[in-house]
Structure 1
Amino acid sequence: MSNERNLETSHDRPKIYEIRIKGHLDRQWTDWFGGLTITLDENGDTLLTGPVDQAALHGLLRKVRDLGMPLVSINESHLNQPTVGRSQGENR
């Protein structure tokens, strides 16, 4: 029983994810993507970054699908913890 509880709580905790999609999104989409940081790469990709729990991650992937933009990658970031308010790159 305790293993089931540990599994549930680990999936409920937000983690920092980096979701890369092909094509550029305007920053106006920030609210639609739950306040994730939107970074436009020079190669034409958009990087969505921020704290997301498992349920919200599935919802975000549906939104990417609904936009018709190809999903390039999803990675868990180990650089920041979900409690960090700003990413290191925002001071540039």
Structure 2
Amino acid sequence: MPEETVRQYLFDRPGFYQIRIVGELDEHWLAHLEGLEISTNPWGKYQKVTQISGWLADQTALSGLLDLLSDLGRVILTVERIETDEEV
């Protein structure tokens, strides 16, 4: 397998992610998401969907964020890694 292909699948590389959850996050939890862009808008059949987007250091950071959202009882609608030429 070419080296470029292998590097695409490394779990320890930064990535730009977009996550959508049902509802709004309490102001208290926004501090835990420092450095990420957060917006709340209607989406599909949902009146309020919070979109969290930004760079995460690696898949472990993504997992930690998803665990936090799950612990808060939030329904996770989408998790998407956005391909970009930009690097952190």
TM-score (norm 2): 0.72
Give runs of aligned pairs for residues 59-70 of structure 1, distance below 5 A: 59-70=64-75
| 1:31, distance to aligned residue in structure 2 (A) | 2.5
Give 1 or 2: higher helix fraction.
1
Q: For residues 80 and 63 of structure 1, do their structure 2 counterparts lie closer, same or farther at Cα, with a shift above 3 Å needed?
A: farther
Q: For residues 32 and 17 of structure 1, do their structure 2 counterparts lie closer, same or farther at Cα, with a shift above 3 Å needed?
A: same
Residue in structure 1 matching 2:49, options 45, 51, 54? 45
Distance, in Å, in 2 between the alignment partners of 1:80 and 1:70 is: 30
2:29 match:
29
**C-alpha RMSD of matched pairs (Å):** 2.7
| 1:41, distance to aligned residue in structure 2 (A) | 1.3
1:12 match:
12
**Which consecutive aligned stretches of 4+ in structure 1 deviate over 4 angstroms post-superposition?**
none
After superposition, what is the alpha-carbon deviation per residue over 1:46-91, rounded to whole angstroms, capped at 9, x for unaligned?
00101111000110111011100101010011256343xxxxxxxx
Identity of aligned residues (%): 33
**Gapped runs of 5+ residues in structure 1?**
84-92
Greater relative CO, 1 or 2 (CA 8 Å, sep 6+): 2
Distance, in Å, in 1 between the alignment partners of 2:33 and 2:21 is: 13
**Gapped runs of 5+ residues in structure 2?**
none
TM-score (norm 1): 0.69
2:83 match:
78
